[in-house]
Amino acid sequence: MKRPILTPPCSGWKEDFNPPGSPRRVEPSPNLITSNHQDDIYLEIPRNSVSTGGLLLLCLPPSIFSVFIAIGVIIDSIQDSDYNFLPIGFAALSLVTWQATSFARLIRATPRDEPIRFNRARQKIYAYNFTFCWWNPFIPWPIKIVSYDWKDVRAERWRKQAVTHQGSHLVKTGIMLSVVEPGTNKVIDRFSLSNTYGEESIWAYICTYMQHGLDAVSPAPHNEDHNLLLWYQFAKRLAPEVKWPEAIDHESRTAPQTAPLAQVESP
């Protein structure tokens, strides 16, 4: 029976993939990934931690309406001096306020994309991570941009099972990236690579690109600019655009010892 290599393993751990520089176990394939950008310096792939923006937008109006209903119940109870319903009214108001606020925060705070850049020239990764707390919509949900050496990155496949309202079982799988302390298996940071697919061919593709370059892999399907939206993407129009800090943006897109951005653009 396989046991986790990393300490601690990711939630729902099923398997550890081979670390960077190790022989690959499967053929690299771009079939399950897309790229925002791909050249011999860096590969950028898109991610979304919250992929139900349209559904959330539909759920928000009923939630707001429920807030007014709960307020109405409280007001009627006070006017009629019927205080038996006050605890129920305040409990309902707290619940629907939490729900409406959570939906609104997710719609407004979740960025249009959460890309990861794999810089082959620098042998580093740069992740645009959106951190949110599903049970507390009243605290800041910041964007946390991190950078790590590629050699310290590990990949784990996870699998989770949930029961739907109809009683059926829903199985989800994905790939988690874990960063370890150099020379150890102790995890110091962890963030998702894919919340949709857990196939090792995705990791093999990235490892092959980082080790051997663009000529060693087939081109991944290309995305349009993630800040440019189609006419029907109403929910994403409320979301903030992706904005890398200028210094990290330049570093993550270039090879070492390149000229500063201002000099590169000057004639």
Confirm whether 207 is domain-assigned.
Answer: yes
pLDDT at 110: 84
Taking only the tens place, the pLDDT of each residue in 122-162 is: 999 999 999 888 788 888 888 999 999 999 999 999 998 86
Average pLDDT, the chain: 85
Indicate if the pLDDT at residue 163 is higher than 70: no
Instruction: Look at residues 92, 109, 126 and tell me which one is the last residue of a structural domain.
Output: 109
User: Are 94 and 151 contained in the same domain?
Assistant: no
Angstrom distance (rounded) from CA 103 to CA 85: 27
Indicate if the pLDDT at residue 258 is higher than 60: no
User: Are 143 and 164 contained in the same domain?
Assistant: yes
At 64, is the secondary structure helix, strand, or coil?
helix
Name which residue leads in pLDDT, 235 or 194: 194
User: Are 143 and 179 contained in the same domain?
Assistant: yes
User: Are 40 and 168 contained in the same domain?
Assistant: yes
CA quadruple 211, 255, 115, 144: dihedral positive or negative? positive
User: Are 63 and 165 contained in the same domain?
Assistant: no
User: Are 19 and 139 contained in the same domain?
Assistant: yes
Q: In the structure, what pLDDT confidence band is assigned to residue 261 with cuts at 50, 70 and 90?
A: very low
User: Are 99 and 27 contained in the same domain?
Assistant: no
* Long-range contacts (CB closer than 8 Å, 24 or more residues apart) made by 3-10: 4/156, 5/154, 5/185, 6/154, 6/156, 6/178, 6/180, 6/185, 6/186, 6/187, 7/185, 7/186, 7/187, 8/187, 9/156, 10/156, 10/158, 10/176, 10/178, 10/190
CB 64 within 8 A of CB 98: no
User: Are 124 and 156 contained in the same domain?
Assistant: yes
Q: Domain range spanning residue 104? A: 54-109
Confirm whether 27 is domain-assigned.
Answer: yes
Confirm whether 61 is domain-assigned.
Answer: yes
Indicate if the pLDDT at residue 231 is higher than 60: no
Taking only the tens place, the pLDDT of each residue in 18-50 is: 999 999 899 999 999 999 999 999 999 999 876
Confirm whether 266 is domain-assigned.
Answer: no
Angstrom distance (rounded) from CA 42 to CA 125: 9
User: Are 146 and 161 contained in the same domain?
Assistant: yes
Confirm whether 43 is domain-assigned.
Answer: yes
User: Are 172 and 76 contained in the same domain?
Assistant: no
Total number of domains constituting the chain: 2
Angstrom distance (rounded) from CA 113 to CA 156: 22
pLDDT at 43: 97
User: Are 192 and 207 contained in the same domain?
Assistant: yes
Instruction: Look at residues 66, 83, 109 and tell me which one is the last residue of a structural domain.
Output: 109
Confirm whether 226 is domain-assigned.
Answer: no
Instruction: Look at residues 83, 109, 135 and tell me which one is the last residue of a structural domain.
Output: 109
Confirm whether 85 is domain-assigned.
Answer: yes
Confirm whether 263 is domain-assigned.
Answer: no
User: Are 28 and 122 contained in the same domain?
Assistant: yes
